[in-house]
């Protein structure tokens, strides 16, 4: 084998066992045997990852380099699109805690959404549309803004972790009485890294201690210089509490967005980004999507994560069923086989055959036989699920001190109830045997950022089942750590009362189910929801709706003022004049937050 010691071969990121055997001039059986000795059970018809192949090749005296694969999996660019439209801006509101982000969003929602829309909203999909009237060439024109109604920093982190950004503009909320705070600085960093324009809303100007000039001075230190001082950053003094200057702020957002000349092609395959996901009884796995390009339609086949699905139905942000969604539209999509990850991209493809091929390719890349991945961050989340592990210990190695500090800072900001992230050790330079020994003693995962892992060290890690994960991009590292921890988060159960019903007559009842008639007195009643039974204003038990009928016809809902028949499952003895409250139960995928 010594004669091959200086031979160099090139291998792809996913290496078939047969190809490796051919390149190192041995039989496939010999490669399978070496893999088995390294704890990897793979047949000659299976594939392994590049790092595992490099270890095996080293055993036979070969040096390995990775082939650059340039062929894109799916083209998400708009090049080639001929039908280009101007699309509404997608805006994220960010700022320090308690500076008024939520109050501002509420103020906009309450004043710039029509009564019919707001009265019909029965769900939260993570975004909404507001209309603004502005004057153009002496004529009043209606303009639309899509606001992301999700926590600003978390949304940015998830989107940027997937190498994309759905936000066109950031509204930075700063309290006039407090000025720039740590999360203000963090929001500025996020916005600048995403290369999106910033509009500053100086909030709480109704307070006696408000000092807008102080805010402007402090922001200038971060290169956000107000326009009236000769800078390029629009700053609008507002009061989310009283509504003062909200219209002016929205006009500034529209004008700033117009300078960006936001366009999207609509004759290309539709794509969008997931901003929220949840599982809802009767609807299954749902994803809240902001459309980025193209027109998403019912029955479209799309790929996401390592799976594919078909649009079963869509609802706009008010809960109304729609047939198509355009660029910048927020839309709730049903049809996912499993809840998509926040920040994931969905992309429409021509048919299910192509979708299956793409998802199989992605799944294959994720499930190649490997020494590294069987014990990396993926391994942690699997073990955590089995053994109720609630702490992830990390040994962090990086190429330079700047990278190390940046990664440490980002990791230290990740938090979640009942979950702990500990950096057991950190340093600059290659992963060493000393790191492996520390990992063995502490049960830590080694994270290697842009540093080499010598084959001898990898072998030692494999022999001792030490977890190792390698990264070249910071946001991928942060995303994988977050994902590993999120795997063990229990989903959040959200209960929303959607309507109430007064029982007039009991038609049928046995030990397990019954049928009652009555009138919807508020909201709406639907099948598949939980019922809380109230008698004389006291809760007496819970039931489950099986069906709703108006006359002899089964319906999806009965709204306020209608008389209906309700069949239910449960053993509560319902009586006339009982009030049934209909509760929509949703299971929302929880995400980790950054520490305040």
Q: What's the pLDDT tens digit per position in 5-49?
A: 558 888 887 888 899 999 999 998 888 888 877 767 778 878 888
Q: What's the CATH code of the domain at 417?
A: 3.40.50.10050
* Domain endpoint, select from 234, 261, 288: 261
Q: Kindly state whether residues 94 and 183 are assigned to the same domain.
A: yes
Q: Kindly state whether residues 340 and 392 are assigned to the same domain.
A: no
CA-to-CA separations, 517 to 507, 548, 563, 576, 581, in angstroms, rounded: 7, 10, 7, 9, 14
Residue 84: predicted pLDDT: 92
List, for residues 428-455, the tens digit of each pLDDT value. Answer: 889 988 888 888 877 788 999 989 888 8
Q: Kindly state whether residues 278 and 333 are assigned to the same domain.
A: yes
Residue 90: predicted pLDDT: 93
Cα dihedral sign, 501-502-507-510 = positive
Residue 184 has phi, psi (to 5 degrees) of: -65, -45
Q: Kindly state whether residues 166 and 234 are assigned to the same domain.
A: yes
Q: Is residue 82 part of a domain?
A: no
Measured CA to CA, the distance from residue 247 to residue 111 in angstroms comes to 9
Q: Kindly state whether residues 280 and 233 are assigned to the same domain.
A: no
Q: Kindly state whether residues 557 and 578 are assigned to the same domain.
A: yes
Q: Kindly state whether residues 130 and 251 are assigned to the same domain.
A: yes
Core vs surface per residue 146-179: b (16+ CB within 10 A) or e: bbbbbbbbbbbbbbbbbeebbbbbbbbbbbbbbb
Residues whose CB falls within 8 Å of the CB of residue 58, separated by 6 or more in sequence, listed in order: 64, 455
Number of domains present in the structure of the chain: 5
Residue 286, Cα to own-chain centre: how many angstroms? Answer: 12
List, for residues 543-576, the tens digit of each pLDDT value. Answer: 999 899 998 888 888 999 999 999 999 988 899 9
Q: Kindly state whether residues 50 and 133 are assigned to the same domain.
A: no
Kindly tell me if the per-residue pLDDT of 317 is higher than 80.
yes
3-state SS, one letter per residue, for 195-230: CCCEEEEEECCCCCCCCHHHHHHHHHCCCCCEHHHC
Kindly tell me if the per-residue pLDDT of 162 is higher than 70.
no
DSSP letter string over 481-530?
HHHHHHTTSPPEEEEEEEEEEEEEEEEEE-SSEEEEEEEEEEEEE-TT-E
Q: What's the CATH code of the domain at 14?
A: 1.10.10
Q: Is residue 76 part of a domain?
A: no
Q: Kindly state whether residues 227 and 278 are assigned to the same domain.
A: no
CA-to-CA separations, 7 to 22, 28, 49, 57, in angstroms, rounded: 14, 19, 20, 10
Q: Kindly state whether residues 315 and 204 are assigned to the same domain.
A: no
* Domain endpoint, select from 71, 98, 126: 71
| Contact in structure between 487 and 495 (CB atoms under 8 Å) | no
Kindly tell me if the per-residue pLDDT of 72 is higher than 50.
no
Q: Which helix (H) or strand (E) holds 175?
A: strand 169-175
**Least confident residue range of 149-163, 192-206, 543-557:** 149-163
**Least confident residue range of 99-108, 296-305, 530-539:** 99-108
Q: Is residue 375 part of a domain?
A: yes
Average pLDDT over residues 184-206: 84
Residue 399 has phi, psi (to 5 degrees) of: -75, -40
Residue 381: predicted pLDDT: 45
Measured CA to CA, the distance from residue 247 to residue 133 in angstroms comes to 9
Residue 198: predicted pLDDT: 93
* Domain endpoint, select from 461, 489, 517: 489
Q: Is residue 348 part of a domain?
A: yes
Paired with 271 in beta bridges are: 293, 347
Q: In the numeric block, which tokens belong to residue 525?
A: 């009643």
Q: What's the CATH code of the domain at 579?
A: 2.40.30.10
Q: Are strands 235-237 and 198-203 parallel, antiparallel or unpaired?
A: parallel
Q: Is residue 593 part of a domain?
A: no
Q: Kindly state whether residues 340 and 400 are assigned to the same domain.
A: no
- What is the pLDDT confidence band of residue 527, given thresholds at 50, 70 and 90? confident
Residue 585: predicted pLDDT: 81
Residues whose CB falls within 8 Å of the CB of residue 2, separated by 6 or more in sequence, listed in order: 61
Q: Is residue 78 part of a domain?
A: no
Q: Is residue 596 part of a domain?
A: no
Greater confidence (29 vs 136) lies with 29
Query: What is the pTM for the complete model shown?
Result: 0.57
Kindly tell me if the per-residue pLDDT of 340 is higher than 80.
yes
Report the range out of 162-171, 207-216, 280-289 with the highest average pLDDT: 207-216
Q: Which of 458, 488, 475, 482 is nearest to 373 (CA)?
A: 458
Greater confidence (528 vs 227) lies with 227
Q: What's the CATH code of the domain at 164?
A: 3.40.50.300
Q: Which of 24, 15, 44 is nearest to 32 (CA)?
A: 44
Look at the block and give the residue holding tokens 């501002």: 104
Q: Output the average pLDDT for the chain.
A: 82
Range of the domain at 567: 492-588
Burial of 329 (0-12, 13-18, 19+ CB in 10 A): buried
Residue 306: predicted pLDDT: 83
| Contact in structure between 53 and 64 (CB atoms under 8 Å) | yes
Q: Is residue 301 part of a domain?
A: yes
- What is the pLDDT confidence band of residue 540, given thresholds at 50, 70 and 90? very high
Q: Kindly state whether residues 64 and 123 are assigned to the same domain.
A: no
Measured CA to CA, the distance from residue 444 to residue 101 in angstroms comes to 38
3-state class percentages of the chain: helix first, strand second, coil last, to nearest 5: 30, 40, 35
């Amino acid at each position: 084998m010594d004669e091959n010691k200086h031979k160099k071969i090139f291998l792809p990121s996913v290496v078939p066992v047969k190809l490796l055997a051919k390149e190192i001039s041995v039989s496939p059986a010999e490669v399978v045997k070496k893999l088995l000795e390294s704890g990897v059970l793979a047949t000659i018809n299976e594939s392994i990852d590049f790092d595992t192949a490099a270890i095996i090749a080293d055993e036979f005296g070969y040096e390995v380099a990775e082939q650059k694969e340039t062929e894109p999996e799916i083209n998400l660019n708009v090049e080639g699109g001929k039908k280009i439209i101007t699309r509404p801006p997608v805006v994220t509101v960010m700022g320090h805690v308690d500076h008024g982000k939520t109050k501002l969003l509420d103020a906009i929602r309450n004043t710039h959404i029509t009564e019919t829309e707001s009265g019909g909203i029965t769900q939260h999909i993570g975004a909404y549309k507001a209309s603004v009237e502005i004057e153009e060439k002496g004529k009043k024109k209606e303009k639309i803004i899509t606001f992301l109604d999700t926590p600003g920093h978390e949304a940015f982190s998830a989107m940027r972790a997937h190498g994309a950004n759905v936000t066109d503009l950031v509204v930075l909320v700063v309290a006039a009485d407090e000025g720039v705070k740590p999360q203000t600085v963090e929001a500025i960093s996020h916005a600048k890294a995403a290369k999106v324009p910033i509009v500053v809303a100086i909030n709480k100007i109704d307070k006696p201690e408000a000092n807008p000039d102080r805010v402007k001075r402090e922001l200038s230190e971060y290169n956000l210089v107000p326009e009236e001082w000769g800078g390029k950053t629009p700053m609008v003094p507002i009061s989310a509490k009283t509504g003062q200057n909200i219209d002016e702020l929205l006009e500034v957002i529209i004008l700033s967005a117009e300078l960006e000349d936001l366009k999207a092609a609509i004759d290309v395959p539709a794509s969008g980004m997931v901003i929220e996901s949840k599982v809802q009884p009767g609807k299954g796995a749902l994803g809240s999507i902001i459309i980025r390009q193209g027109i998403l339609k019912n029955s479209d086949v799309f790929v996401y994560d390592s799976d594919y699905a078909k649009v079963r139905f869509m609802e706009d942000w008010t809960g109304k069923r729609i047939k198509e969604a355009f660029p910048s539209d927020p839309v709730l999509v049903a049809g996912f086989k499993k809840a998509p990850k926040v920040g994931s991209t969905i992309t429409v493809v021509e048919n299910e055959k192509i979708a299956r091929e793409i998802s199989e390719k992605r799944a294959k890349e994720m499930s190649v036989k490997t020494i590294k991945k069987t014990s990396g961050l993926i391994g942690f989340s699997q073990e955590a699920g089995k053994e109720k592990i609630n702490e992830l210990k990390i040994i962090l190695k990086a190429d330079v001190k700047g990278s190390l500090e940046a990664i440490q800072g980002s990791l230290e900001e990740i938090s979640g109830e009942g979950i702990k992230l500990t950096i057991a050790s950190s340093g600059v330079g290659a992963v060493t045997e000393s790191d492996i020994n520390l990992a063995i003693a502490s049960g830590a995962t080694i994270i290697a950022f842009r540093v080499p892992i010598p084959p001898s060290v990898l072998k030692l890690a494999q022999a001792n089942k030490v977890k190792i994960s390698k990264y070249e991009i910071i946001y991928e590292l942060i995303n994988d750590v977050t994902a590993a921890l999120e795997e063990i988060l229990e989903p959040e159960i959200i209960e929303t009362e959607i309507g109430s019903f007064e029982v007039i007559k009991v038609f049928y009842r046995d030990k397990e189910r019954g049928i009652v008639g009555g009138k919807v007195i508020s909201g709406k009643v639907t099948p598949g929801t939980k019922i809380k039974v109230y008698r004389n204003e006291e809760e007496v038990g819970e039931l489950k709706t099986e069906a709703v009928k108006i006359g002899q016809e089964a319906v999806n809902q009965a709204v306020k003022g209608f008389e209906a028949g309700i069949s239910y499952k449960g053993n509560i003895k319902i009586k006339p004049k009982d009030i049934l409250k209909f509760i929509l139960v949703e299971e929302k995928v929880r995400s980790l937050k950054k520490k305040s």
